[in-house]
A and B are shown apart, each in its own frame.
Chain A
Amino acid sequence: GDSVTQMEGPVTLSEEAFLTINCTYTATGYPSLFWYVQYPGEGLQLLLKATKADDKGSNKGFEATYRKETTSFHLEKGSVQVSDSAVYFCALLKGNAGAQKLVFGQGTRLTINP
């Protein structure tokens, strides 16, 4: 079945470091792909998305490119901040129109030290 595998955490970086969180997926066809983020004490929120191959999603300095050749959607940011500390979830959208649902990876906890 459809699944998402994320880089194991936790990940700890210093402020202004370069971030990569790996995400690969297994799916039938080419599903839309997403990164969700959960800040401490808050609900999951959409960070960025890409709906077709070679699309790049971006938001708040984060980017991810939909690579169908490698079935990947790695999250990157050039210079992280303490406020980026959170749990990040990669997800794909499964199902037909009118009956779709998100399939999530296990999450990667990111801690940024000042």
Chain B
Amino acid sequence: GAGVSQTPSNKVTEKGKYVELRCDPISGHTALYWYRQSLGQGPEFLIYFQGTGAADDSGLPNDRFFAVRPEGSVSTLKIQRTERGDSAVYLCASSALGGAGEAFFGQGTRLTVV
């Protein structure tokens, strides 16, 4: 597609449930990033993929969070045993190699844990 696509755009889940958030990056972009944006705050880094591998996962808050990018294109962010504090907008971005500062962002998935 023309831009970064994230699905779903909204997700409401019950506390304790498992969720998956999907990101389709711009075709040809080898770098993919996940950020989390809480209300009234700027995006915070979660994880960075270069190709299929996670080059930096230092932003993942705990082991309930996991992300994959098995074929170097689509990525899935997985959250286990969701908690109300996980409620936020999850943003995906992609860039060409070496272009971390010039990332293209999706519109995000708004996750609400009730």
Contacts and interface: CB of A to CB of B under 8 A. Distances in A.
A77 to B, nearest CB: 20
A107 B55 contact: no
Interface residues of B, number: 27
Contacts, number: 68
Interface in A49-73: 49
Contact of B50 (A32, A91, A95, A98): A98
Nearest to B48: A101
A103 B45 contact: yes
B8 to A, nearest CB: 15
Interface of B: 3-4, 33, 35, 40-45, 48, 50, 55-56, 59, 91, 93, 98, 100-108
24 contacts: A42-B107, A43-B4, A43-B91, A43-B104, A43-B105, A43-B106, A43-B108, A44-B43, A44-B93, A45-B104, A46-B103, A49-B102, A89-B43, A91-B42, A93-B101, A97-B98, A98-B50, A98-B55, A101-B100, A102-B35, A102-B43, A102-B100, A102-B103, A104-B44
